[in-house]
Each structure stands twice: as structure tokens, then as C-alpha cells.
Structure 1
Amino acid sequence: MIELSHFSFAYAGGRDEGLKQIELCVGQGECVLLCGKSGCGKTTAIRAVNGLIPHFYDGIKQGRALLDGQCVEDMPMHEISGLAGTVFQNPRSQFFNVDTDSEIVFGMENLAYSRAKMEQRMQQVTEELHLHPLRRRNIFHLSGGEKQKIAFASVYAISPDVILLDEPSANLDAAVIEELKDMISLLKKQGKTILISEHRLYYLRDLLDRAFVLEQGEIKAVYSREEFLQLTDAEREQLGLRAFDLEQVRFGATCDNRGYNTVGQTAGIFDCGKHRPPYELAIENAAASHRKKAVWKNVRFTAVSGEIIAITGHNGAGKTTLARALCGLQKLDNGSISLNGRRLTPHKLSKLAYMVMQDVNYQLFAETVEKECAFGVKRADPHAVREALEQMGLAEFAERHPNTLSGGQKQRLAVAASLVSKKEILVFDEPTSGLDGDSMCRVASILRNLAAANKLIFVVTHDPELIASCCSHIIQLGKGGLLEDCRLDETNWPHAIYHSILQ
């Protein structure tokens, strides 16, 4: 069904995540995984199959991309979309409507389905994907996970023979990832051909048939499912891959063998923690709403500088709302936020706090990566900018435009910019979404260094590997309030805390 033969592609402008002489074949009914470090070419391979290369992205192409025996380059886009449906990492990039029902039927309308067939298919999709709570909703009012389900449903509705998934789990909580797993399993039972680019591997253990590991645009290795799952931890980490089994993730693992355990550095962007005053931030009886709908209430907890606090909970529990409140971007309906006993207004919080957003495209403004790091910072230290880029593995891209980076590289750039900001309260909203194992370890190391410098650090995350690597405290939201507030250690990690993260 899918074939890339001697396929090479170099993006116009010199972007590095192209492909070099790729040989890839996916048979009817196979589920094939593309994995590897950020920027290795996974998304480019997806674009070659769905026709975005060469119909949308400019560059130099060699070799052939075939879909059901036909050359993709010679096929019109409407014909390609009838054969292959794509779910992108950021579902917002593929929405054309403002309500969920219209979005689900959009593809069917473009393929000229009759009204009766659309209604019948809509009911079938709703039942099979359990979409009843998402019907007739405003897309802009959905959580990230709910948007991803609608994107999947819109593709599933037209029932293409080939399904292409590009980092589909990047912004999903554990419960929605389980639903995604069930959806992919349903596609397999229907005999669909599936090509999936992914960093999170644990939920695909029972689904994949083969795995292709890419490195710098080339295929480094090809494994059967059995061979892939038998890789040792050292071999897996050498390839920059994440864990195959979350039950085996150890609390306190610091990625030493990947070379990012740098706690204790005090030069450059990291101030020496022992010379900084301690901070205690308290939230008392807080309540917040979003678009006039209550999100949570009676939330109270205390955070101390030097800790790394994970904010967890299911999609839609209000984690991002809490993050925005901590940064002064959202006013509380009730309650207060105080620092060392002094109550803070949203304006004062905005002066003290910096937020790395979940969708980093909202906060990238400058024309080069280097300038982005210093954007909005008065008298930014050029040395600190260079060191931040080096810490995040982006120094070689300093003169590139931020929009030419891969999704994972953009995420790392936003983290680098937070380091240069010199703010006392740092809030990271899903900082490892779309990141490979190496990049996740880079972020964990940066967070530990910031904690050693007595910063107040909050991390909104669904990522148990990140939490195990660096977090010392967990705040879990759900059911309109606070469900969990406790410190993390070796005794509670594998049991109650592990299950609270994944529920």
C-alpha cells in the first residue's frame, strides 16, 4: 500500500529534517512505526505519503513515493485524501470548522457523500469512537485531547485504506492515550494500513508489526515487533527512544547515561542557589472558570523554591487554567496567590513568572532562533542566550527562523527562552510533548538545574518519564478540584502515585 523507493527530499531553505535515499514498504493491513530523535525525518516521511510533498512543501525531491501502486506526485490531492487520511500532531492545523459535527463530516462533504450516507456514517462513528460527549460542541472549547479525538474521527469517518498518524499522543493524558490505542486496534481489525510517527512507545507495544528507526534522514535500523521490544535499555537509549514499558520507569532516574545529569552547574544562565533567598508560594481557596464555566474550586497548596512540582490530571481538568493563573494570565474567581506571605495581583505575577505554552507556536515571534531566546528580555546577556541554546541542543540553528524547526525543536527553543528570562516562577505546560527520549532528558536536566538555583518550578505534564526523572511533588486536579497533593519518593512512586498519574 505504501512504498518509498530511493526517496530523498531536501526542504527549500536548508531545513535539516529531510530524507536521504529512504527505502520503506508497508503492506496491506500492517501497522508500522517510525521513530527516532526529533528532526530525524519522521514527519517528512508522512508528508511524502500524503502528498504534502511535493504539492505543498517546496524542495528537491528524488525517487518515488507510491500509494496503492500509484505515484503520489501524479495524483491530485482529492484522490490522495480518498486513499490516505492523516491525523497531525497539532489537530488545530487540520480544522476547517468551529463546531465538532461540521468538522467530522467535512471530509465526507468534500468527497460528495449523500446526506443519508453522511448521517448514517456520523452515527456509526459516534458509536464506535464513543463521541457522544463531544457532539455539537464548539471546537474552541475543547481540551487538547478532545480536539485530537475529533481530528481522528474526521479521518475515520471517510474510512480511507491508509491511516497516517503523526505524533498522535503528544498532548494526551493517559486515559485518552488508552482510547487512542483502542482506536488504532479497531483500525487494525478493519484491515487498515497504518503508518505512525511517534515518540511515546509504550501504548504501541501490542499494535505495531515493524519499527523503522530514523537518524538524520536515513533509516538506521528496521525491527520486527519482537526484535524491537527485545532491545536493551542501553540500546534503546542509544537510539534516543523512550521507554517500552512504563511499569519499569524508575523514580529518580536522572538520564546519567545520556549525558544530561548536570545538576550543580552554576555558570552562565544558572545562578548559584545558595545565594538566593527561598520563596514560598501559597494558593488559598482558589476557584477559576473558563468561558463562564467553573473549572475547579477550593484549590489550596504550598510550593517552595527548589522543588519541581508536577501538575497532573485528565484532559480538561483545568491544568492549563491553573498554569495561567500562576503566571497572572488568568484572574481567579475566588481565593488568592501569595509569595512569602505577600498577596500577588495578576499584574505582579506576570512580572515574576514565565510560561512555556503547550502550543509553542503562540510564543515564537522573532526572525531567528537566537533572537527568539532574547525576545522581550531587557538587556539580554548574549552569553546566556548562547549557553541556553547549547543546553537545549539548538546552537547550530541559531540563525534559522523558528518556524523552520521541527515540533520538538520548537518546544526546546521555548524552554531555552524561559532560561534567559531570569524569572523567579517558571511554569512549563507540557514541555516534553513531541520530544524524544534524549530531548526529554535535556528538559529534565534543565529543570533540576533551575531547582538547584532556588527557582519556583511548575510542570503541567502527562509524562510519567519526565516526572520520574525530576519532579519532587505532585498536584493532581480532577472532578472540579484538588485530588492529590503529596511529595514524591521511591516508596510511593510505583504504587499510588503511578496510578494517579495514569488514571
Structure 2
Amino acid sequence: MRCAPGTATLLTGPSGSGKSTVLRVLNGLANHLDHATITGEADLGGLDATTADLALLGQRVGTVFQNPRNQFFTATVVEELAFGRCNEGQDPQRILNAVEQAAERTQITSFLAMKIGELSGGQQQRVACGAAIAGGPEVVLLDEPTSNLAAEDIEALRRLLLDLKAAGTTLLIAEHRVYYLRDIVDQVAVLNQGQLTRVQTTQEFFAQSDAQRRAAGLRSLTRPVLTPAHDQARDRPGTTGVQLRNVRFGYGDRPVLNIDELDLPAGCVTALMGPCGAGKSTLARVVAGLATVERGGTVSMHGRPCRPRDLMSRSAMVMQDVYRQLFTVSVRDEVTAGTRCAESADPDSILAALDLEDYAHRHPMSLSGGQKQRVVIGAALAADADIYIFDEPTSGVDYHHLQAIAGLLRDLANRGVVVLVITHDAELVAACAQRVLTLSPIYDPDTRNHLTVTDVRPETRDVDAFQSAYPERTIT
């Protein structure tokens, strides 16, 4: 495979096919950190990436990891963007100019003084992009760069990639969500089980029919679109499921949630969408009992107010950062490690449904990002819970596994439990959600979150129509 200088290449294929490994060979981590056995050549503009000094590679290559939290070295955004050039001992004014330029290009100028840990997953993804380009590398490697991004942030990333390419930067993008790259990449390389199966022109790749791309396990080649259901008249308040009343929550003096009334009904899949930083993951923590609301607010289950510890005992949650939820030495042990397992749960059938049966005895940390995601989902599915919360469950997941996860979420809802899915993934919403909540952030301490609800027609493909055509019903 050859990537000419100043071109963009899409690297795609099923989860676990070796996409991240290719990037780690090129940035030197496979050799210096993983101590991998590497044969052949990986030429990076005359530099052999398999043997070159890591510091020298770091000056040539910028990388956005699949999980950006794994690449941060500092506490604040401005320090992270300055880190590489500071290590090189560059002039402070030159560093400051580069930081400001990278922040402006990635639209994170307003974050510069903030602590990285205070940012949402999508905002951290943008910081990772800023850090990757702040050093002015010749090559930028991006591993699932849209996994935590909302639609408007994906569009901003698309513009950034076009800008980098126009400036002569060589781009290699490992990605499952491919539609936004149609007018950016010059070629597409497809991997399967560690083998390069084909290299196509952009025109050839995006000319595939839906049947062809599904058979190949590829996500949508066009922007996914949702269509609202025709029946939008009914509200769903009641005493079945989770009820939130007068919920207020913030971090220090920064309010995040101010919701008068919200119902999460049992027996259906509810998708929670909205811009990065709106408070979606915080709302999930409140529902799961991991965060305590201010005095006067209540979270009830089936009409009965619950204390946070009661909610925790009744909840199963897949966090946005699944690395925080892997504890055991094998995949099978991970699925059965919970203190409570549903009597009907069969670990082997769960692993089979998630295409993990061949990895049952592998260490979870040896798997790809998408495979880790499915392991944690399997552990949640095995739990005997009343509330199931999934935060970005399809990041790093290909088409076949997305459909498998969607089917399992529908099966969960059919048990009569509460299923809340926090996602930016319109393909997942189309595949499994009956209801969509859209949460907006609080821009002023005295205002409430604007929250809309709509019913969704399943298996639809028009996100713009969904965002503009459905009759919004403001509920708080």
C-alpha cells in the first residue's frame, strides 16, 4: 500500500481487522511500546517507521487515538497542545503561536484554559485532533476520529481534514463511519483479518450498492438520515420506568442539568442525542445513581422515589470509556464478573451474539477498541437490571456488529426494562430506537435545558429530515 505525499487514504474493514495496528506501526508505537515482531518495510518519507527513533517519528507524525484519553499527558488543554513543541525545546512565542493556530483550526479556543477531565468525550476528541496537528507534522494518522462526535462536529472535522490536505499534509484515516470522507480521500484500503484485501479509488468504493457494502460489513456510504414516525401525538408520561422531577446538577459553579420533568418509559429503546458537552453523560450518571441531584430533585422508578444507591443497585451501564470497565483476565470472565447475573443469562450465547465466542479466553485488553466495546456490552446484558444505560455503544463498531448490538438493545426493551442509549450514531438510532430525546446545553445559569422528544420510524435513513421535519414537543 502506498500513500502519496499530500493525499488522504481511508483505511476501513471489520472490527479487529488490524486498522489500529497499521497506524501503530507507522507512528512507532508497535515497535517501541508494544514490542511487536515486525517484518517488511514501513517507509515514512525515507524514514523506516519500524526501526526509527520514537522522538524523530513524533516530529514527523501526529496521531489521534481511538480513545483520546489514552494519549493525553497533561491536565489542561493549552498544556496538551503545547506538549510536543515544549519537549523539543522550541521558543515559547513559537509554541504559543502554534497552539493558538491549532486551537482555532479545531475550534477549541474556548477550551484552552479548561482541564481536560472536565470536557465531554466529543470535546476531548477535538482536543486530541488539536494536539495531533499542533506540532506541524508531515503525516497525520486518525483512528476512528468521529466516534464521539455530533453531526456538527463531524462537519468541522471534515473541513479540518480538507484544510490539512490542501496544506500538503498526508492523511491516513482508520474509520468505520465513512460517509463524510467521500470528498476528502483519494483511495480506500480495505483490511480483513490482518490482510489488505483491496485498494480502490474513492469513486469505486462509494459506488457500491447498499447490498454490496452490507455484505462487506461497511457502514452507510451516505449520511444516515432518520425519519419521524407519523404518529407524534402521544406523550409517554406515567409511572412505568424512570421519572425525573426538578433535577438540578452541576460541577462546582457550572450548571449542567436543569430539568423540570422527564420520563424514560420501560419497554422501549430511548436514544439521547444532542451536541457534545450538552450533559448527556451527566444525565446518564444521574439516572444510574452515580451522581446526586440538588435538594428538591427526585429520580423515581415506577413512581417511587429512589436514593442514588437504590438506582445503582438496579442499573447496568456501559460507559463511554470502556477501558474503565475491564477488570478480569478473560473475555468470558468479564461477562460473568458482575455481582448479579440474570438467571436467564447465558454467557456463551451472549458472546456468540456479539461475535466474541472465538475470543472467550483472550485477555480483554488484547482486543481491538470495537471488540472491547462489545465485551462491556456483553457484561451489561448479563446483568439482572431494571435500567440499562449505553453511552456511545457503537464507537469503533462495523455494520454487522452495529446491527447485532441494535438487536440486543431491542430484545432488552422487550423484557420491559428501561433502555437509554446516549449516541451520536444515527445508524444505531435508525436500527433500534423508538424514541429520541434531544438535549441542549445550558448557556446561562438561570436557564433550563431545552429538551425535545419524538417518536422515530424504525429502519429509516434521513437525519436531516429528522432534525428539520419532526414536530418538536418541548417538555421542559
Which has the larger displacement, 145-154 or 389-398? Answer: 145-154
Q: Distance in 2 between matches of 1:89 and 1:389?
A: 23
The residue aligned with 2:455 is 487
**2:204 paired with 1:242:** no
Is 1:140 aligned with 2:101?
A: no
Deviation sequence 1:415-467 (CA, Å, 0-9, x none): 11111112111011111111111111111010111112212100000000000
**Pairing 1:2-401 to 2, within 5 Å after superposition:** 24-247=1-224, 279-333=240-294, 334-378=296-340, 384-401=346-363
Contact 2:100/2:109, CA 8 A, preserved across alignment: no
Aligned to 1:262: none
Aligned match of 2:414: 452
Per the alignment, in what secondary structure is the counterpart of residue 270 of structure 2?
A: strand
1:356/1:126 Cα in 2 relative to 1: closer, same or farther (>3 Å)?
A: closer
Contact 1:368–1:398 (CA under 8 A) maintained in structure 2: yes
Map Cα deviations across residues 314-356 of structure 1 (whole Å, 9 max, x no partner).
1110000111111111111242121222111111111111111
SS in 1 for 2:184: coil
Between the aligned partners of 2:452 and 2:462, the Cα distance in structure 1 is 13
- How far residue 251 of structure 1 moved from its aligned partner, in angstroms, is 7.6
| Structure 1, gaps ≥5 residues long | 1-23, 253-277
Partner Cα distance (1:238, 1:105) in 2: 44
Task: Give the counterpart letter for 1:461 in structure 2.
Answer: T
Please list the CA deviations of residues 82-137 of structure 1 after superposition, one character each: whole Å capped at 9, or x if unmatched: 11111111111111110111111111112221122212223333333333211111
2:75 counterpart SS class: coil
Alignment CA distance shift 1:154-1:378 (3 Å): closer
Cα 1:98–1:445, aligned 2, differ >3 Å: closer, same or farther?
Answer: same
Judge conservation of contact 2:240–2:303 (CA < 8 Å) in 1.
no
Deviation at 1:499, TM superposition (A): 4.7
Does the alignment pair 1:437 with 2:399? yes
Shift of 1:250: 7.0
Structure 1 Cα separation of the partners of residues 114 and 206 of structure 2? 40
Note the C-alpha offset of 1:245: 1.2
SS in 2 for 1:294: strand
Structure with higher strand content? 1
Aligned in 2, Cα 1:294/1:496: closer, same or farther, shift over 3 Å? farther
- State the one-letter code of the partner of 1:340: H
Other structure's SS at 2:388 match: strand
The residue matched to 1:34 in structure 2 has which SS? strand
Greater mean deviation of Cα atoms: 280-289 or 316-325: 280-289
Partner Cα separation in structure 1 for residue 326 and residue 359 of structure 2: 15
Q: Specify the SS of the correspondent of 1:57.
A: coil
Rounded to whole Å, the distance in 1 between the matches of 2:192 and 2:107 is: 38
**Secondary structure at 2:382 match in 1:** helix
Using the size of structure 1 for normalisation, the TM-score is 0.86
Residues 343, 82 of structure 1: alpha-carbon distance in 2 compared, 3 angstrom cutoff: same
Evaluate the alpha carbon distance shift between residue 474 and residue 84 of structure 1 in structure 2; reply closer, same or farther with a 3 A threshold: same
Cα gap change, 1:495/1:153 in structure 2, threshold over 3 Å: closer, same or farther? closer
Aligned pair in 2 of structure 1 residues 247, 172: CA closer, same or farther (>3 Å)?
closer
Q: Percent identity at matched positions? A: 35
Superposition RMSD in Å:
2.1
Q: 1:247 to 1:90 in 2, by over 3 A?
A: closer
Shift of 1:379: 6.4
Shift in Å, 1:371 = 0.8
**Letter of the 2:362 counterpart:** R
Which residue number in structure 2 is paired with residue 408 of structure 1?
Answer: 370
> Structure 1 106/215 Cα, relative in aligned 2: closer, same or farther at 3 Å?
same
Q: Distance in 1 between matches of 2:203 and 2:461?
A: 32
Deviation at 1:57, TM superposition (A): 1.2
CA distance in 1, matches of 2:206, 2:461: 27
TM-score by length of 2: 0.91
The DSSP-based 3-state class of the residue aligned with 1:62 is: coil
**Residues 233-263 of structure 1 deviation map (CA, whole Å, 9 limit, x = unaligned):** 11111111111112566789xxxxxxxxxxx
Matching residue of 1:272: none
Give the whole-Å Cα distance in 2 for the aligned partners of 1:341 and 1:378.
24
1:132-191 Cα shifts (integer Å, max 9, x gaps): 211111111111122122221122111111111111111111111111111111101101
Shift, 1:31, TM fit: 0.1
Q: Secondary structure at the match of 1:300?
A: strand
Contact 2:226 2:462 in 1 (8 A): no
Q: Distance in 1 between matches of 2:461 and 2:378?
A: 32
Alignment CA distance shift 1:370-1:235 (3 Å) = same
